[in-house]
């Protein structure tokens, strides 16, 4: 079982080859907590993250010297090893502006460090957002090969945080829907299509610098970091499963089995958006890959790193299933631009966005430092 280092130039869990499992969690600060509480929380979380990602138990482990105290580590990851666990931390806009009306406070004395690009996401056509499952002062993305390792990490981070921050909502995911490395086969989403073919890959150094890592435009604490967007997207899969193969392929503009553009070639060949057959475009004008393509969006690219989810089923026998979409980008405006382009997406008939989140992901953590440390310099 492998270890992904917690320390580095960038936080892990962004270009790290996507693991199979996700536990994503959003936290809200306990009102009245201070700047020192926030600093201590980030310090404690960073220390714990280093141990957790190495597959080592927290504190004195499962059996403290004193049997009258609860164990420092909850124990369920004992014997499971590190499982490529990554913990990626993000800070919400409300941490800088307060969550009160108008967001005009400065509870932690960091408002002057708010980057200009860190604007709230606007609302989009067809949003059906559930506020109790959206946003948050902080987020932690836990990815691992073993679901119990990811859940153990979130559970213990929540436990350590007691009195300072509390879990607002969380989401489990499986079957990564994106590859971030050509060494990985392209996985499939719950519509049965290959997802992640044209993603920004971890070896595209120049594209990462241009589209994913924040540069000199931002305050020092965010350089080498990114912005994470999450969108829980419900799929009406029963309707999808009754759609013909031709309709499914028209929706994406790609073939189902090979994931190749409808204009021919293999999975990684470039779609020919100008191609016509009988006077009509071969790739529909509203096909997902046309509308999301960089050529239609002034060169905009994002790094997608989402997961499938199934939250059981409802009383009508329909699966509560979909895509927990995650993307990393240098500027939230990149996501906004793409999502606005998708307004007329054929896919729109089969999906609903039910939760949304945006956090700034500080640059990598150096040994002996804690995540976001330079915010408090
Ligand atoms: C491409 C599925 C939502 C952005 C694709 C592809 C599939 C897909 C199958 C083609 C293969 C690939 O290149 O990865 C889905 C599904 C969604 C969804 C099932 C919702 C349930 C979104 C959203 C965005 C987005 C919300 C961003 C706002 C993109 C981009 C591409 C893409 C940028 C690559 C386009 C290209 O360069 O060819 N998606 N997607 N997708 N999608 Fe989505």
2 inside domain? no
Residue 233: CB within 6 Å of ligand 1? Answer: yes
Query: Is residue 102 in some structural domain?
Result: yes
User: CB-hemisphere CA count at 13 Å for 49?
Assistant: 30
Task: Report if residue 346 sits inside a domain.
Answer: yes
Question: Which atom, in ligand 1's list, is nearest to the CA of 323?
Answer: 21
Ligand 1 centroid to 292 CA: how many Å? Answer: 7
Ligand 1 nearest-atom number relative to CA 271 = 38
Give me the number of domains the chain comprises: 1
Residues 224 and 216: beta-carbon distance below 8 Å: no
Q: Structural domain of residue 209, as residue ranges?
A: 21-376
Short-list 27, 29, 49, CA closest to 38: 29
303 token code pair: 């790094």
Domain-located, residue 95: yes
Residue 1 lies in a domain: no
The answer to whether residue 175 sits within a structural domain is yes
Of the candidates 136, 114, 135, the residue with the CA atom closest to the CA atom of residue 28 = 136
Best of 121, 304, 321 for a ligand 1 pocket test (most atoms within 8 Å of beta carbon): 304
Task: Name which residue sits closest to atom 7 of ligand 1, judged by CA.
Answer: 195
Q: Please list the pLDDT of the chain residue by residue as tens digits (377 residues).
A: 699 999 999 999 999 999 999 999 999 999 889 999 999 999 999 999 999 999 999 998 898 888 898 999 999 998 898 999 999 999 999 999 987 666 678 999 999 999 999 999 999 988 999 999 999 999 999 999 999 999 999 999 999 999 999 999 999 999 887 777 777 789 999 999 999 999 999 889 999 999 999 999 999 999 999 999 999 999 999 999 999 999 999 999 999 999 999 999 999 999 999 999 999 999 999 999 999 999 999 999 999 999 999 999 989 889 999 999 999 999 999 999 999 999 999 999 999 999 999 999 999 999 999 999 999 98
**Ligand 1 atom with the shortest distance to the CA of 339:** 28
Closest Cα to atom 2, ligand 1: which residue? 195
- pLDDT tens digit sequence for 173-203: 998 877 777 777 899 999 999 999 999 998 8
Q: What's the pLDDT at 180?
A: 77
């Amino acid at each position: 079982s492998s270890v992904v280092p917690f320390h580095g130039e960038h936080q892990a869990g962004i270009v790290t080859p996507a693991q199979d499992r996700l536990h994503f969690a959003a936290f809200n600060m306990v009102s009245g907590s201070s700047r020192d509480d926030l600093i201590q929380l980030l310090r404690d979380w960073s220390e714990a993250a280093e141990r957790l990602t190495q597959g080592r138990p927290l504190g004195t482990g499962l059996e403290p010297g004193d049997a009258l105290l609860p164990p420092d580590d909850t124990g369920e990851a004992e014997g499971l090893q590190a499982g490529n666990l990554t913990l990626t931390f993000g800070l919400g806009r409300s941490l800088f502006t307060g969550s009160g009306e108008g967001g005009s406070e400065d509870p932690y004395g960091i408002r002057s460090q708010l980057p200009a690009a860190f604007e709230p996401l606007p609302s989009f056509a067809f949003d059906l957002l559930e506020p109790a499952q959206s946003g948050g002062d902080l987020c932690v993305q836990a990815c691992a090969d073993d679901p119990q390792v990811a859940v153990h990490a979130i559970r213990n981070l929540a436990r350590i945080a007691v009195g300072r921050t509390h879990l607002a909502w969380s989401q489990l995911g499986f079957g990564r829907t994106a590859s971030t490395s050509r060494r990985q086969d392209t996985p499939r989403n719950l519509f049965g299509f290959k997802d992640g073919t044209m993603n920004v890959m971890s070896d595209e150094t120049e594209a990462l610098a241009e589209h994913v890592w924040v540069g000199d435009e931002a305050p020092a604490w965010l350089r080498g970091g990114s912005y994470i967007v999450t969108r829980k997207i419900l799929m009406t899969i029963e309707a999808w499963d009754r759609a013909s193969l031709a309709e499914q392929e028209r929706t994406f503009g790609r073939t189902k089995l090979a994931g190749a553009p409808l204009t021919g070639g293999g999975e990684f060949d470039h779609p020919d958006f100008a191609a016509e057959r009988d006077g009509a475009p071969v790739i529909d004008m509203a096909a997902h890959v046309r509308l999301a393509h960089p050529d239609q969006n002034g060169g905009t690219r994002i790094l997608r790193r989402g997961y499938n989810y199934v939250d059981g089923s409802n009383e009508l026998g329909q699966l509560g299933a979909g895509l927990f979409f995650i993307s990393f980008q240098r500027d939230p405006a990149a996501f906004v631009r793409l999502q606005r382009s998708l307004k007329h997406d054929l896919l729109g008939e089969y999906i609903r966005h039910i939760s949304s989140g945006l956090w700034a992901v500080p640059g990598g953590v150096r040994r002996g430092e804690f995540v976001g440390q330079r915010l408090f310099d």
